[in-house]
C-alpha cells in the first residue's frame, strides 16, 4: 500500500481501493465525447459569426418574440406550479384522504410520460372540441393553438418540481414551532404566513427555478398545442428547429448559445438557492 | 390563576396517557409534575395548555371551562422542551412575535412593542443579543429567549416542559434559581414537567408524582420525600432499600424495629401472614454495637461528606445501602469484610402487590 | 412523552382541510389524470381492432423496434458510465469533484432541441467533421447512430445522479474492509459494492429507460424522420398526428403512456420497499 500512496498524485488523496484510473478515465472520456465536445462544436459554430452578425441573429424581431413567449409562458407556468405545488405538497404531507398514495405516485408522471404523448393528450383535452376545451370555449376562452396553450403544456411539464422540493422540507418542519406560535396567540393563517412560509420559501423558489428552467427548453409537449405561428406562438426551441430546416446552421447555433447561456444562469441561481435553503435548514 | 384539572383522561389510539386525573393548582404556586418517561406528565401539561384535547374531563381556569378556548386564547405561556424558537427570526423578533400577531384592536404600537421586548430581554439578561439569531446562541441563552417569548404575552400561567433538560449541570443550577425568583417576582402560576427529582424537590412548592397516567402523590417536597405515599414514590424519589419481609398480623419486626404495615389505597392489611416489602432509606440504618441483625461490610465509599456502605444481609438479595455522616464512619473504623450489627431508625412496610 | 401526538387543537378546520384537498385534487385531475385518460380513450375510440392494427402495422412495428434498439444501447452505456463515474466520485477524494458533478448534471439543464442540435453541428453535412464522414461514407446524423447519441446525451445523468449520493452516503469503509481481507478490486466491486447499490441502480435504470424510450425533441432533430427507418415511437406518434390519423397516433402513444405508468408503479414500489437503499433525496 505504501507503493500506492507514494505514487498518488498531489490532486487526490491516497486510497487502498483500486480502479480510480479506470473509472475516472472512462468518466472523462465519455463525458468529453458525449457532452463536452459536441457542446463546444455548437459554440464554435456560433463563434463563426462576427459579433454583429451574432447580435443580429439573436435579437431579430422573430427571435425576440420567441424569447418573450418562452420566458413569459415559462414564468406564468412556474407561478401556477409554485402555488399549486406548495398546496399539493402541503396536502400530501399534512392530510389523510382517499387516493393519497395514488396522487403521491402520479405527481411524477411528467417525468415519466414522453413529452410527445403529453403534447397530443393536452391538445386533445384543451382543443375546442376537447373535454376541457369545450367548457372553456363556452366561457370564451381559447386555449389550444394560443400562447395560453403553451402555458398549459409548461404547467404540466413543471408540475413535479415544486411538490418534490417542498415536500421533504414540510416533512421535517418541527411541529413544536407551530405549537409555539399558536400558544403565543397566532391564528393558523398567521402561523402559515410568518412561520411556515419562511421555512419552505427557499425550497419552493428552488422548485420554481427548476420548473422554469425545464419549461424554457421544453419542446415536445408544447409544439402540438402551441399553434407555432411566427411572432405569436412560436417558442425558442422551435425557432432553432426552423433555422435548422432552412439550413441556417450558424443561426441555429447562435440561438442555441443564447439559450444555453440562459440555462447556465438559471443553473447558477438554482445552486445559490439550494445553498440558501441548506443554510436555513441546517441552522441548528 | 387557579387551575382545576378534573377527571381528565387522554387516549392515543390504544394507549391511555392520562387516566381520570384530578389536580388543583393554586394562584401563585410553582408546581412540578415529576415522573418517569411515559408517565403522562407532558401530555397533562399539553392538555392544560390546549395543545391537546382531553377525551374526557374538564380544565377550569379560575372556575371557567377552558376546554372550549383555543390555545391562543388561554393566555398560557408555554416553554417547549427544545425551545421551538423561530430560527429565521432574530431574538428580538422571536420575543415580539406574540405581540405582533395579537388582533388589531388589542395590538400594541411598534414603540410599545419595542419597549416591552427590550425590558423582557433585559429581565432575562439578553438585551445585548437582541439582533442575534437563535443558531448563534448557547443552550442556556436559547432557553431564556424561549422564556422571554412566553412571558411577552403577559400569561396568567407559565407551563414549562422539561425546562432544563437539554442544559449542562452548571447552567441548569443557575437557571433554576433564576426561574424561582422570576416566578415569585411576577406573581405567576407555574407548572413544570421534569423527570429530575432533585430539580422538582429544590424548585417546586408542591410536587406531583405521576406514574402510568395517574397521580401517585401530591405534596410539598418535604412530604413526598419524607413520607412517600406509595412504594412507587419511595422507589422513584431518593435512594431506598427494598427489603422483602413477611407481614404477620399486620406488622413486621425489621432488625429490631417494629413497623405497622400499611396499604396504598387504605384497604385493610391482609390478616395473618403475607409477603411484603419494607422500605428503609440508607440514612435510616444505624450500625450499632449490639443488635439482632448481623451484616457483612462488602463495599465502602468514603469520598465526600457522607460515606456509603454496601452490606450483605442474610435473606436480602440485593446489597443493603447505608449512608453515614463522615465523622460517624471514621469513629466506627469500618473495614471491608467486617461483620457488624444493624438496626433501622425508621421504615415503612407495604404488602407485596398480588 | 406520549408515543404519538395528535395535532388536532392547532390544525386547520375540517372545512379548510377538505377545501385544500379538493383544490389540489382538481389541479392533479386536470393536469395529470385527464391527459392519461384521454390517451387511452382516444386510442380505443375506433374499437380494439383498429387499435391492434395501428400498433401492428409495419411502420409502427419498425418504430417500436427502433425504440427498443436505441434503449438497448443507450441504457447499458449509461449504466457503465454511471457506475464508473460514481465509483470515481464517491470512493475517492480528488480536486474538482463538485465541478465534475456539475458537468455530469449538465444535460439536464440543456434543452432537448439543443441536445440534438449539437450532434447535427458536429456530424451533419455542414458539421465540424461532417465532410470527413461523408468522404468515408459514414452516416451518423439522420441515421440510427445519431438517434442513439442524442438519446445517450439526454439520459446521460440518470444512473450517475442516483448512484453518486447513494455511494457517497455508504462511504468506502466496506470496500476497504474487503480489500484488507484480501479481495481483489473486481471481487470487491461484485461482492461488496454492487449488492449495496443494486436497488439504486435499478431505480436509475428505470428512469433512464423511460426517458430513453420517450425522448422526442433531441431525437426529432437528428432523425430526419425517415418512415420505417429512423422513426422512433414518439416520432411516429408525431407523424401520425400531423397526418390527422388521431386514433393511430393515440394508439402508439398509449403504448408509451403504459410504459410511463409501469415505470411509475415500479418506482413507487422501489421507494416504498427499498427506500432506505436508495439515494437520500429524490427529485
With a CB-CB cutoff of 8 Å, which residues 209-248 of chain C face chain A? Answer: 210, 213-217, 220-221, 233-235, 237-238, 241, 246
Q: Which residue, B158, B204, B165, B189, is CA-closest to B83?
A: B165
Contact C268 A104 (CB under 8 A): yes
Contact C257 A113 (CB under 8 A): yes
**ipTM of the complex model:** 0.90
Nearest Cα residue in chain A from C187: A18
Q: Where are the domains of chain A?
A: 50-256
For residue C36, the chain A residues in CB contact (below 8 A) are 109, 113, 121
Give the cell for residue A196. Answer: 411556515
Contact A244 C188 (CB under 8 A): no
Among A42, A87, A240, the residue with its CB nearest the CB of C23 is A87
Contact (Cβ atoms closer than 8 angstroms) between residue C177 and residue C222: no
For residue A283, the chain B residues in CB contact (below 8 A) are 87, 133-135
Task: Give the closest-approach CA distance of B95 to chain A in angstroms.
Answer: 10
Mean of pLDDT values over C105-128: 90
What's residue C8's pLDDT? 54
Among C4, C9, C10, the residue with its CB nearest the CB of B12 is C4
What's residue A2's pLDDT? 43
Contact (Cβ atoms closer than 8 angstroms) between residue C119 and residue C150: yes
What's residue C127's pLDDT? 82
Among A176, A186, A198, the residue with its CB nearest the CB of B88 is A198
* Dihedral sign from CA coordinates of B277, B279, B284, B287: positive
Main-chain phi, psi angles of B256, to 5 degrees: 95, -5
Task: State pLDDT tens for residues B43-78.
Answer: 999 999 988 888 999 999 998 888 778 888 888 999
Contact B43 C10 (CB under 8 A): no
Mutation for testing the C interface, residue in A1, A79, A117, A258 having most C CBs under 10 Å: A117
Taking the Cβ of residue C148 and every Cβ of chain A, the question of whether any pair is shorter than 8 Å is answered with no
Residue pointed to by grid coordinates 427506500:
C275
What's residue A281's pLDDT? 53
Distances (CA, A) of A126 to A107, A145, B342: 20, 9, 95
Give the cell for residue B304. Answer: 465526600
Among B85, B87, B98, the residue with its CB nearest the CB of A185 is B98
Is A14 a residue whose pLDDT tops 80?
A: no
Nearest Cα residue in chain C from B162: C1
What's residue C281's pLDDT? 62
Nearest Cα residue in chain C from B53: C9
Give the cell for residue A103. Answer: 396522487
Taking the Cβ of residue C266 and every Cβ of chain A, the question of whether any pair is shorter than 8 Å is answered with no
For residue C121, the chain A residues in CB contact (below 8 A) are 38, 41-42, 45, 249, 252-253
Task: Give the closest-approach CA distance of B129 to chain A in angstroms.
Answer: 17
Among C16, C35, C207, the residue with its CB nearest the CB of A125 is C35
- The C-alpha atoms of residue B24 and residue B7 are separated, in whole angstroms, by 11
For residue C39, the chain A residues in CB contact (below 8 A) are 117, 120-121
What's residue B264's pLDDT? 75
Contact B101 A198 (CB under 8 A): no
Three-state DSSP at C84 gives helix
Task: Give the closest-approach CA distance of A146 to chain C in angstroms.
Answer: 18
Contact A175 C7 (CB under 8 A): yes
What's residue B354's pLDDT? 57
What's residue C7's pLDDT? 43
Task: Give the closest-approach CA distance of B218 to chain A in angstroms.
Answer: 27
End-to-end Cα, chain B, rounded Å: 42
- The C-alpha atoms of residue B182 and residue C4 are separated, in whole angstroms, by 33
pLDDT in tens for each of the 354 residues of chain B? 899 999 999 998 888 999 999 999 999 999 999 999 889 999 999 999 988 888 999 999 998 888 778 888 888 999 999 899 998 899 999 999 999 999 888 899 999 999 999 999 998 889 999 999 999 999 889 999 999 999 999 998 999 999 888 788 888 888 888 889 989 988 899 999 998 888 999 999 999 999 999 999 999 999 999 888 888 998 898 889 988 888 888 888 888 888 888 877 777 777 778 888 889 999 998 888 777 788 989 999 888 888 899 999 888 888 999 998 888 888 888 888 888 888 888 888 888 875
For residue A197, the chain B residues in CB contact (below 8 A) are none
Among C3, C9, C10, the residue with its CB nearest the CB of B12 is C3
Contact B38 C10 (CB under 8 A): no
Is C226 a residue whose pLDDT tops 80?
A: no
Give the cell for residue B113. Answer: 412593542
Task: Give the closest-approach CA distance of B81 to chain A in angstroms.
Answer: 9
Mean of pLDDT values over A44-73: 93
Q: Which chains touch A (3 or more CB pairs under 8 A)?
A: B, C
Write out the residues of chain C at the interface with chain B, using a CB-CB cutoff of 8 A.
1-6, 8-10
For residue A15, the chain C residues in CB contact (below 8 A) are 91-93, 172
Write out the residues of chain B at the interface with chain C, using a CB-CB cutoff of 8 A.
10, 12-13, 15, 17, 37-43, 46, 50-53, 70-71
The angle subtended at Cα C157 by Cα C152 and Cα C160, nearest 5°, is 120
What's residue C84's pLDDT? 95
Mean pLDDT for chain A? 90
For residue C102, the chain A residues in CB contact (below 8 A) are 267
Contact (Cβ atoms closer than 8 angstroms) between residue B207 and residue B43: no
What's residue C276's pLDDT? 84
What's residue A5's pLDDT? 47
The angle subtended at Cα A217 by Cα A212 and Cα A222, nearest 5°, is 95
Strands B320-325 and B64-65, bridge-based pairing:
unpaired
With a CB-CB cutoff of 8 Å, which residues 48-77 of chain C face chain A? Answer: none
Contact (Cβ atoms closer than 8 angstroms) between residue B44 and residue B191: no
Among B72, B87, B135, the residue with its CB nearest the CB of A185 is B72
Give the cell for residue B151. Answer: 412571558
Residue pointed to by grid coordinates 377552558:
B66
What's residue C224's pLDDT? 74
Name B28's Cβ contacts closer than 8 Å, sequence gap at least 6: B187, B188, B189
* Cross-strand partners of B65: B60
Is A268 a residue whose pLDDT tops 80?
A: yes
Main-chain phi, psi angles of C125, to 5 degrees: -50, -40
For residue C235, the chain A residues in CB contact (below 8 A) are 116
A50-256 belongs to which CATH class?
Answer: mainly alpha
Contact (Cβ atoms closer than 8 angstroms) between residue B80 and residue A180: yes
Mean pLDDT for chain C? 90
pLDDT tier for residue A205 given thresholds of 50, 70 and 90: very high
What's residue C51's pLDDT? 94
- The C-alpha atoms of residue A215 and residue A237 are separated, in whole angstroms, by 11
Q: Which chains touch B (3 or more CB pairs under 8 A)?
A: A, C
DSSP class of residue B335? -
Give the cell for residue B24. Answer: 388543583
Beta sheet of B76-79, edge-to-edge order: B76-79, B157-161, B189-194, B30-34, B206-211, B214-219
- The C-alpha atoms of residue B315 and residue B246 are separated, in whole angstroms, by 12
Among A37, A114, A191, the residue with its CB nearest the CB of C214 is A114
Task: State pLDDT tens for residues C143-171.
Answer: 999 999 999 999 999 999 999 999 998 88
Strands B189-194 and B273-280, bridge-based pairing:
unpaired
Number of cross-chain residue pairs from B and C with Cβ atoms under 8 Å apart: 38
Number of cross-chain residue pairs from A and B with Cβ atoms under 8 Å apart: 73
Amino acid at each position: 500500500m505504501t507503493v500506492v500512496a507514494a505514487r498518488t498524485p498531489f490532486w487526490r488523496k491516497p486510497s487502498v481501493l483500486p480502479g480510480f484510473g479506470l473509472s475516472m478515465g472512462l468518466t472523462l472520456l465519455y463525458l468529453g465525447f458525449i457532452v463536452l465536445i459536441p457542446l463546444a462544436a455548437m459554440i464554435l459554430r456560433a463563434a463563426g459569426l462576427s459579433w454583429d452578425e451574432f447580435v443580429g441573429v439573436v435579437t431579430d424581431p422573430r427571435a425576440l418574440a420567441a424569447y418573450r413567449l418562452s420566458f413569459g409562458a415559462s414564468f406564468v407556468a412556474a407561478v401556477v406550479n409554485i402555488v399549486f405545488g406548495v398546496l399539493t405538497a402541503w396536502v400530501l404531507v399534512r392530510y389523510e384522504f382517499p387516493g393519497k398514495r395514488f396522487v403521491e405516485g402520479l405527481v411524477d408522471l411528467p417525468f415519466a410520460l414522453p413529452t410527445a404523448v403529453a403534447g397530443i393528450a393536452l391538445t386533445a383535452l384543451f382543443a375546442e372540441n376537447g373535454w376541457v376545451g369545450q367548457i372553456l370555449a363556452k366561457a370564451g376562452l381559447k386555449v389550444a393553438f394560443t400562447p395560453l396553450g403553451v402555458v398549459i403544456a409548461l404547467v404540466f411539464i413543471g408540475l413535479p418540481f415544486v411538490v418534490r422540493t417542498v415536500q421533504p422540507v414540510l416533512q421535517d418542519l418541527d411541529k413544536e414551532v407551530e405549537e409555539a406560535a399558536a400558544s403565543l396567540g397566532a391564528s393558523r393563517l398567521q402561523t402559515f404566513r410568518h412561520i411556515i412560509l419562511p421555512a419552505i420559501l427557499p425550497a419552493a423558489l428552488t422548485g420554481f427555478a427548476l420548473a422554469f428552467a425545464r419549461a424554457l427548453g421544453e419542446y415536445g409537449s408544447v409544439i402540438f398545442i402551441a399553434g407555432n405561428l411566427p411572432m405569436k406562438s412560436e417558442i425558442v426551441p422551435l425557432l432553432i428547429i426552423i433555422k435548422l430546416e432552412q439550413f441556417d446552421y450558424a443561426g441555429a447555433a447562435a440561438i442555441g448559445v443564447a439559450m444555453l447561456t440562459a440555462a447556465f444562469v438559471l443553473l447558477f441561481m438554482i445552486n445559490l438557492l439550494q445553498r440558501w435553503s441548506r443554510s436555513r435548514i441546517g441552522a441548528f | 390563576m387557579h387551575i382545576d384539572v378534573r377527571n381528565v383522561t387522554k387516549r392515543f389510539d390504544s394507549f391511555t396517557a392520562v387516566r381520570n386525573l384530578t389536580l388543583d393548582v393554586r394562584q401563585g404556586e410553582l408546581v412540578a409534575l415529576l415522573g418517569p418517561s411515559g408517565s403522562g406528565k407532558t401530555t397533562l401539561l399539553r392538555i392544560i395548555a390546549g395543545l391537546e384535547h382531553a377525551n374526557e374531563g374538564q380544565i377550569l381556569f379560575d372556575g371557567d371551562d377552558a376546554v372550549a378556548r383555543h390555545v391562543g386564547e388561554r393566555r398560557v405561556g408555554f416553554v417547549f422542551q427544545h425551545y421551538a424558537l423561530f430560527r429565521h427570526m432574530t431574538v428580538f423578533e422571536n420575543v415580539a412575535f406574540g405581540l405582533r400577531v395579537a388582533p388589531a384592536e388589542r395590538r400594541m404600537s411598534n414603540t410599545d412593542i419595542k419597549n416591552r421586548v427590550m425590558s423582557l430581554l433585559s429581565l432575562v439578561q439578553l438585551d445585548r443579543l437582541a439582533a442575534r439569531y437563535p443558531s448563534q446562541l448557547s443552550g442556556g441563552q436559547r432557553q431564556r429567549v424561549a422564556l422571554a417569548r412566553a412571558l411577552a404575552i403577559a400569561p396568567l400561567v407559565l407551563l414549562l416542559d422539561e425546562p432544563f433538560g437539554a442544559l449542562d449541570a452548571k447552567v441548569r443550577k443557575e437557571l433554576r434559581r433564576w426561574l424561582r425568583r422570576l416566578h415569585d417576582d411576577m406573581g405567576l402560576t407555574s407548572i413544570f414537567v421534569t423527570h429530575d427529582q432533585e430539580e422538582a424537590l429544590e424548585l417546586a412548592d408542591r410536587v406531583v408524582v405521576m406514574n402510568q397516567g395517574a397521580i401517585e402523590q401530591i405534596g410539598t417536597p418535604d412530604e413526598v420525600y419524607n413520607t412517600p405515599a406509595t412504594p412507587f414514590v419511595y422507589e422513584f424519589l431518593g435512594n431506598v432499600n427494598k427489603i422483602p419481609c413477611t407481614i404477620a398480623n399486620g406488622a413486621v419486626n425489621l432488625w429490631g424495629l417494629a413497623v405497622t404495615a400499611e396499604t396504598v389505597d387504605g384497604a385493610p392489611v391482609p390478616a395473618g401472614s403475607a409477603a411484603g416489602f419494607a422500605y428503609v432509606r440508607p440514612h435510616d440504618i444505624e450500625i450499632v454495637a449490639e443488635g439482632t441483625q448481623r451484616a457483612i461490610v462488602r463495599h465502602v465509599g468514603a469520598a465526600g461528606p457522607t460515606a456509603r456502605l454496601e452490606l450483605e444481609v442474610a435473606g436480602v438479595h440485593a446489597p443493603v445501602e447505608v449512608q453515614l455522616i463522615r465523622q460517624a464512619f471514621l469513629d466506627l473504623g469500618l473495614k471491608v469484610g467486617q461483620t457488624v450489627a444493624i438496626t433501622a431508625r425508621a421504615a415503612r412496610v407495604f404488602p407485596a402487590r398480588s | 412523552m406520549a408515543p404519538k401526538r395528535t395535532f388536532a387543537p392547532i390544525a386547520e378546520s375540517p372545512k379548510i382541510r377538505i377545501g385544500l384537498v379538493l383544490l389540489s385534487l382538481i389541479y392533479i385531475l386536470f393536469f395529470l389524470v385527464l391527459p392519461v385518460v384521454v390517451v387511452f380513450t382516444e386510442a380505443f375510440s375506433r374499437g380494439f381492432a383498429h387499435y391492434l392494427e395501428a400498433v401492428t402495422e409495419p411502420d409502427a412495428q419498425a418504430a417500436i423496434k427502433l425504440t427498443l434498439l436505441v434503449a438497448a444501447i443507450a441504457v447499458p452505456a449509461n449504466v457503465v458510465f454511471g457506475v464508473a463515474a460514481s465509483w470515481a466520485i464517491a470512493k475517492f477524494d480528488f480536486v474538482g469533484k463538485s465541478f465534475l458533478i456539475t458537468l455530469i448534471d449538465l444535460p439536464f439543464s440543456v434543452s432537448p432541441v439543443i441536445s440534438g442540435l449539437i450532434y447535427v453541428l458536429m456530424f451533419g453535412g455542414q458539421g465540424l467533421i461532417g465532410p470527413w464522414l461523408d468522404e468515408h461514407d459514414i452516416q451518423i446524423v439522420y441515421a440510427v447512430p445519431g438517434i442513439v447519441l442524442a438519446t445517450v446525451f439526454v439520459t446521460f445523468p440518470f444512473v450517475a445522479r442516483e448512484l453518486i449520493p447513494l455511494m457517497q452516503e455508504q462511504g468506502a469503509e466496506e470496500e476497504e474492509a474487503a480489500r484488507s481481507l484480501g479481495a481483489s478490486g473486481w471481487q470487491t466491486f461484485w461482492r461488496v459494492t454492487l449488492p449495496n447499490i443494486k436497488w439504486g441502480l435499478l431505480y436509475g435504470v428505470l428512469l433512464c429507460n423511460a426517458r430513453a424510450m420517450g425522448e422526442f425533441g433531441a431525437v426529432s432533430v437528428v432523425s430526419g424522420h425517415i418512415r420505417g427507418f429512423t422513426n422512433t415511437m414518439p416520432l411516429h406518434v408525431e407523424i401520425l398526428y400531423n397526418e390527422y390519423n388521431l386514433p393511430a397516433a393515440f394508439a402508439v402513444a398509449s403504448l408509451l403512456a403504459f410504459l410511463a405508468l409501469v415505470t411509475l408503479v415500479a418506482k413507487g414500489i422501489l421507494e416504498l420497499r427499498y427506500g432506505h437503499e436508495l439515494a437520500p433525496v429524490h427529485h
